[in-house]
Amino acid sequence: MNRNAFLAIALITLAAGCGSKTPTTPSTNPNQVKFTAAVLPSNEVPAITDAEASGRGTVNITFNLTKDAAGAITAVTADFALDVNSFPPGTPITAAHIHSGANGINGGIIISMGLGAGEIVLVNGSQTGIIKTGQTNGGLFTPAQAQDIINNPGNYYFNIHSALHGAGVARAQLVKQ
C-alpha cells in the first residue's frame, strides 16, 4: 500500500472515531435564569452590629420564564432555596425578599420568598434547605421586573429579616449565574 493511501485511511479512521466520542456540552434551559447571593449582616444599610451580626446565608434563585414567539417574557415565577447559619440560637426569620436597590441603597420589595409568620425559627442558629417554589408575589411580580433583574442583577438585592431586625438582618446583591 502506498504511503498516501495509508495516510488517507488513518485520517478517515481517526475522524470517525473522534466524531462518535465527542462529549456534548450540557444544555441550559432558555426559560430559566439563575441567581445567587451570599447574605451578610454587614451588607445591611445600616450594618447589623449586635448578636445577629454573626449570621450569614446563601440563596439560590431561579426565575422560571414563559416567553412568546418573539422571546419576550410573558409570565414569571421564582423558586428560592435558602441556607442560613451562625445566627444566635432561636433567631426567627420573619421574611425574605428581592428588593430593588444598588449596593448600599435600600429599596422596595419586588418579590417575596413567601415565608409565613413563625415558619422559620433557627433553633440551633442554622437551617438549610428552606425551599419555596412558584412565587409570584400574589401576581404582582411582572415580566418587566424580571427582565430588568436579568439585565441588571447588581441593581437588586436579596435580604432576610429577623424579629429583632424587621428592616433586614442580612443582605447581598444578586449575581446572575
pLDDT given at position 20 = 45
Q: What residue segments make up the domains of the chain, in order of their start?
A: 26-176
Query: Residue 170 in contact with residue 40, Cβ under 8 Å?
Result: yes
Architecture of domain 26-176: Sandwich (2.60)
Residue 86: other Cβ atoms inside 10 A: 16
Tell me: the pLDDT tens digits for 89-124? 999 999 999 999 999 999 999 999 999 888 999 999
The whole-model pTM stands at 0.83
Length of the chain: 177
pLDDT surpassing 50 at residue 8? no
Tell me: the pLDDT tens digits for 132-154? 999 999 889 999 999 999 999 99
Grid cell for residue 153: 442583577
The secondary structure of residue 43, as a DSSP letter, is G
Residue type for position 68:
D
Task: Give the CA count within 13 Å in the CB-facing half-sphere of 97.
Answer: 21
Unique residue bearing C-alpha cell 430588568: 148
- H/E element holding 144? helix 143-151
